[in-house]
Structure 1
Amino acid sequence: MPAQAFVALVTCFRDDETLDLEATRAQVRRQVEAGNNIMCAGTNGDFTALTFAEKVRLTQAVVDEAAGRARVIVNAGMPATFETLMLAREFDRIGVDGIAVITPFFIQATQDGLIRHFSAVADAVRTPVYLYDIPARTQNHIEPETARTLSRHGNIAGIKDSGGAQDTLEAYLGVGRESPGFAVYSGPDHLVHWSLRNGAAGCISGLGNVMPKVLAGIVAAFNASDEAEAARQQGIFGDFRKDLYALGYPPALVKRALYLMDPTVGASRQPALLPDPAQDARIRTILRTYDLPR
């Protein structure tokens, strides 16, 4: 199948930090028009700052707005298996295309505990489940051998690797080659083209919120076997990533950069990044460098 780009969609808030579903729907339309699919309630979607009910409402709105024009994956992962199962069943009822499950955070898990956690979710729903590894944020890491074990579960369809280590991504890609039907999606924005060339099913990108057409362009060029154009677009994407992320915590900076382009997305929920005139000026300079609206 052709490689696919997903954007880890921002969640939009009003000035009082309440959920703004209409603004979020507008971001869905923007990504669909660019040619990207959607992952909602992920790291770039402030999922740790959302309540259970908000995640359900958000997912319903995103699925409704996408209306089959793009695939929708939603993150159900929480520290405990119990709440993860509750969320996954709600998303299964709504009718998403995939349920991502981030590794438990705060709770230290063994590899056996991770196998039990992911298997329990995959057993409980009909929707395909995707493992989601981001150890820098959760302090729990899915070892490649654990991914290999879980790839044999009939309802575990793949993994999103957001670890940032190329050797780990290579190991997951090896699992994918051994296990037909186990799709590997790259999370690090500087490895999109590299991962596609090495067998990834696609990517799930936070930076695509700010540069949706460049992200879509990398994947479209790769699918058209235009390696030179894919490399050119990746160069733009990678340079922008390096410049923006040098300023601090990436998800908050993605949201702030998008806010400076379109204030309707709102700020991040606190205690994330506060508006800072000096930092905003640096972000605006970066946006100007890449000919992005500001």
Structure 2
Amino acid sequence: MTAPLPPFGRALCAMITPFTAAGELDPDAAGRHAAALVADGCDGLVLNGTTGESPTTSDAEKTALLRAVREAVGGRVPIVAGVGSADTRHTVELARQAERAGADGLLVVTPYYSRPPQAAVEAHFRRVADATGLPLMLYDIPGRTGTRVEPETLLRLAGHPRVVAVKDCAYDLMGSTRVIGATSLAYYSGCEELNLPLYAVGAAGYVSTVANVAPGPLRAVLDAFDAGDTAGATRLNLLTAPLTRAMMGAGLPGAVTAKALLGAGSVREPLQPAGRGAADGLREVYAELLSALDQL
């Protein structure tokens, strides 16, 4: 087994995209949030992904967000730019724009809606990988795209010099373990409930929506595991589990729940903001986590 290297760090946040009250991109708020995340333990940021509401932001806004965050954090942490779309040509253009704007890597999701077969999925990723000099993190999230990146496809793509990582939302621990063991791909959990299990079988870390509001507690799980304190890692993981359930498993998208907890402005339609009851429930769970951590 070749241990996967963490090309983008271990503890990555899938960052929200702040909007003003009028629904416009708020680059200043984005910069402040990015700087706070880095100060609180994130060693990588992923922009313009699912949590960043990428389906409803324009190409120009994606570039402006990237530049604002780069200015705020400088070179302290890697920035991975989401460039996925349903159109290979558009994805290639987004990749080139992200490279020019200062991204350190690209997050590329499986083309959605058209449900391409595996040969076409592989060809899509290779086209994007060949379009720039940046390393790629492939985003396997069949629950949203309708198409899995099968382990056999990942095994082949691992031979491409710029395909270096996977954001794993496939909920297939056996398949992920197989690819981790057979390649040098750096696996990042994209589902917080699998952060610790995947890390224990050789993943590089996580890309987390919950890290928008709890970057320190999530990172502490990995720190404890790395220190050999597996019991401590388990305890910390169990403490964060209720917040994960509240933010990611209660029927609202993560962008909505993260913004509700952060007071980070509006979401773009078709998303709708969390209602008062949902927001109050989120704040209650978050307060309980902070209280439990204070008692450790």
TM-score, structure 1 as length reference: 0.91
Q: What is the rounded CA distance, in whole Å, between the counterparts of 2:162 and 2:287 in structure 1? A: 45
Structure 2 matches for 1:201-216, cutoff 5 A? Answer: 201-216=204-219
CA distance in 2, matches of 1:275, 1:193: 28
Alpha-carbon contact 1:210-1:254 (below 8 Å) kept: no
Q: Secondary structure at the residue paired with 2:240? A: helix
Q: Which runs of 5+ in 1 are unaligned?
A: none
Aligned to 1:64, the other structure's residue is in SS state: helix
Corresponding residue for residue 294 of structure 2: none
Q: Residue type matched to 2:200 in 1? A: R
Alignment partner of 1:88 out of 92, 95, 111: 95
**Counterpart in the other structure of 2:21:** 15
Query: Sequence identity, in percent?
Result: 31
- Residue type matched to 1:272 in 2? L
| Residue aligned with 1:272, SS | coil
Confirm whether residue 45 of structure 1 aligns to residue 52 of structure 2: yes
| Alignment equivalent of 1:143, drawn from 129, 142, 150 | 150
Answer yes or no: is the 8 Å Cα contact 2:256–2:274 preserved in 1: no
Equivalent position amino acid for 2:98 in 1:
F
Does structure 2 retain, via aligned residues, the 8 Å contact 1:130–1:157?
A: yes
Q: TM-score, normalised by structure 2?
A: 0.90
Shift of 1:225: 2.3
- Conserved in 1, the CA contact under 8 Å of 2:15 and 2:209? yes
**Match of 1:254?**
257
Alignment-derived partner of residue 270 in structure 2: 271
Report what 2:168 is aligned to: 161
In 2: Cα distance, 1:148 partner to 1:33 partner: 36
- The residue identity in structure 2 corresponding to 1:125 is T
Match of 1:185 among 185, 188, 191: 188
What SS is found at the alignment partner of 1:70?
A: coil
Gaps of 5+ in 2: 292-296
Aligned 8 A contact 2:261 2:282 in 1: no
- In 2, are the aligned partners of 1:77 and 1:102 still within 8 Å (CA)? yes
Conserved? CA contact 2:140–2:149, under 8 Å: yes
Code of the aligned partner of 1:9: M
Distance (Å, rounded) in 1 between the aligned partners of 2:38 and 2:80 = 14
In 1, the alpha carbon distance for the partners of 2:79 and 2:229 equals 27
Residues 100, 131 of structure 1: 8 Å contact kept: yes
Assess if the C-alpha contact under 8 Å between 2:111 and 2:145 holds in 1. yes
**1:97-136 to 2 correspondences below 5 Å:** 97-136=104-143
Counterparts in 2 of 1:234 and 1:70: CA distance versus 1, 3 Å: same
Within 1, Cα distance between the matches of 2:169 and 2:249? Answer: 18
- Tell whether 2:280 aligns with 1:285: no
Report the RMSD for the aligned CA atoms in angstroms: 1.7
How is 1:73-84 mapped onto 2 (pairs within 5 angstroms)? 73-84=80-91
| SS of match in other structure, 1:96 | coil
Matched residue count:
284
Shift of 1:246: 4.2
2:32 aligned with 1:26, yes or no? Answer: yes
One-letter identity of the residue aligned with 1:89: R
Partner-residue secondary structure (3-state), 1:290: helix
Counterpart-to-counterpart distance in 1, 2:87 and 2:247:
33
Please state if 1:245 is matched with 2:248.
yes
What's the offset of the Cα at 1:201? 0.9
